[in-house]
Amino acid sequence: MEGSGQPASAEQACDLPLVACSPEAGDAALEIEQQVMSLFEQYRDPLLRYSLSFGVPLPDAEEIVQEVFLALFRHLRLGRSREHLPGWIFRVAHNLTLKRRHANRRLPIATMEQAEIAALRPDPKPNPEDACSEAQRQRRLRAVVQAMPALDRCCLRMRAAGLRYREIAVALEISLGSVSISIARSLGKLLRADRG
């Protein structure tokens, strides 16, 4: 679909030359290459786990990941849509994995070795629910800190920066007991907000 803005299929994208024809095209190719490399770093392991989940052997899954990013580079070189690229690369990986699996119908569903390999590369990012929950928690705690009196905020921030109670007392020209009470009060508010 040349003009539709739809992503090119992996087969269409792989039939295109990679060579840049002009210096401007070379600069554009470099920018595209950097974007593809960034996406590769971000999605390589999740794509590998995804392909392995279909039961393809590890070498095939690694080839599929490489093919996905080669297709992405060619897709972007054609000036096609840059919207929803994570979805696009997973769709291409899905199609290539099914194609590879279909080509060799004798593949087992999944081997213990592949499951162990996938487990060695756990996804370091939290799942969407955990990420949302953590973002809400951070907003709640920031709101508590913003509502604190200025002295309590200062004491808490200095303590978070690694200053000792005595150093905070000297910096703010207050007693050591006042620093202790202020920090205890602030931490109590934060703990209550974090539980609720």
The whole-number pLDDT of residue 105 equals 64
Mean pLDDT (the chain, rounded):
77
Instruction: Kindly tell me if the per-residue pLDDT of 110 is higher than 90.
Output: no
pLDDT tens for residues 45-97?
Answer: 888 888 888 778 888 889 999 998 888 888 888 877 777 778 888 888 888 98
Q: Average pLDDT of 157-173?
A: 86
> How many other C-beta atoms lie within 10 A of the C-beta of residue 131?
11
Identical topology for domains 10-120 and 128-195: no
DSSP 118-170: HHHS---SPPHHHHHHHHHHHHHHHHHHHHS-HHHHHHHHHHHTT--HHHHHH
What is the C-alpha to C-alpha distance for residues 111 and 27, in angstroms, rounded to an integer? 44
Cα–Cα–Cα angle for 30, 36, 39, rounded to 5 degrees: 145
The domain spans of the chain are 10-120, 128-195
Both tokens assigned to 165: 């109670």
The whole-number pLDDT of residue 106 equals 55
Assigned CATH for 10-120: 1.10.1740.10
Q: What is the identity of the amino acid at 17? A: P
**What band does 21 get if pLDDT is binned at 50, 70 and 90?**
very low
The whole-number pLDDT of residue 127 equals 77
- Looking at residue 3, the DSSP 8-state letter turns out to be S
Instruction: Kindly tell me if the per-residue pLDDT of 179 is higher than 90.
Output: yes
Of 98, 114, 103, 105, nearest to 57 (Cα)? 114
Q: What is the identity of the amino acid at 196? A: G
| Burial (CB count <10 Å: 0-12, 13-18, 19+), residue 124 | exposed
Instruction: Kindly tell me if the per-residue pLDDT of 107 is higher than 60.
Output: no
What is the C-alpha to C-alpha distance for residues 102 and 104, in angstroms, rounded to an integer? 5
CATH for 128-195 (2.60.200.20, 2.30.300.10, 1.10.10.10, 3.40.50.720): 1.10.10.10
Instruction: Kindly tell me if the per-residue pLDDT of 11 is higher than 50.
Output: no
The whole-number pLDDT of residue 121 equals 58
75: Cα separation from own chain's centroid: 22
